Amino acid sequence: MKIFIQNQQDKVDVAEHISKIIEASVANTIKIFLQEENFEVSVLIVDNNLIKELNRKYRNINKETDVLSFPIFEFKNGQLQEDIVIVEDEIPLGDIVISIEKALQQAEEFGHSLEREVAYLTVHSVLHLLGFDHIEEDDRKVMRKYEEQILDSMGLTR
């Protein structure tokens, strides 16, 4: 499994342990649903200004958000919905964009660590890459169950 992390902001110090948390969050989420380990995910760490711009461009919502997911393949609740031909060693699942600035604000607001907030946002976003959503209440409950299960397994409880 390959996880590419790039920091494109300078407002919040992103120490190496934050990258390790992102890697563990991606890996632990993917392993629940996919047996293979030949997947890759790219994670871009940005500030509120850039995520607002991306949110406006790709979702037509002109405000900052905490995380965006850009899946490459169509999944539904962790199941691939299309046949894919593997031509590379790794299959790209998609891209994740995290506003570390927003994550820090939310960690302070919710009274927990930046590490827990980054792990939550990463798990949440990987679940989106895997076709989970939270628009309908039943879907939201399923997604929340997986989020808490994965965070608990990482020792990042509320």
| Binding-site sequence positions for Zn(2+) | 124, 128, 134
Which amino acid is it at 137? E
- Cα(155)–Cα(158) distance, integer angstroms: 9
Backbone angles phi, psi at 77, to 5 degrees: 50, 45
Half-sphere exposure of 66 (CA within 13 A, CB side): 16
Q: Residue 75: which H helix or E strand, with range?
A: strand 75-76
Residues annotated in the binding site, as ranges?
124, 128, 134
